[in-house]
Amino acid sequence: MTAKTEVVRARMNPELKHTVEKILEKLGLNQTEAITMFYSQIALTEGLPFEVKIPNKATKQAINDVKLKKNLNYAKNKEDLFKQLED
């Protein structure tokens, strides 16, 4: 295995960074290990290891509705949820 001699630098939102650091800690990973895993998956798949696409009109509307807290359905429990989905 070759020595780790390259440095990757990135600027990001501090809140996102801290949120991810907490999750990585729970997973027993540090930032370097997580980035190395991500880069390894890019190399293995010869692309991003997940699908990336622009949301369609319906998805954009749903995202906007959630942000604005409008047109939302609420269920008391899973039975209520499934009943609403049937209607």
User: 3-27: per-residue pLDDT in tens?
Assistant: 888 999 999 999 999 999 999 999 9
Same domain, 44 and 63: no
**Which own/partner contact pairs does 80-85 have at CB distance under 8 Å and 24+ positions apart?**
none
Task: Check: pTM over 0.75? Answer yes or no.
Answer: no
Q: How many domains does the chain have?
A: 2
Residues 43 and 60 in one domain: no
Are both 3 and 40 inside the same structural domain? Answer: yes
In this structure, are residues 24 and 31 in contact, taking their beta carbons and an 8 Å threshold?
yes
Same domain, 66 and 33: no
Tally: H helices and E strands in the chain: 4, 0
State whether 35 and 45 are in the same domain: yes
Residues of the domain holding 69 = 53-87
User: CA-CA distance, 14 to 48, in Å (whole number)?
Assistant: 24
Q: Which residues contact 38 (CB under 8 A, 6 or more apart)?
A: 49
Same domain, 42 and 66: no
- What's the mean pLDDT in 40-49? 97
Residues 39 and 76 in one domain: no
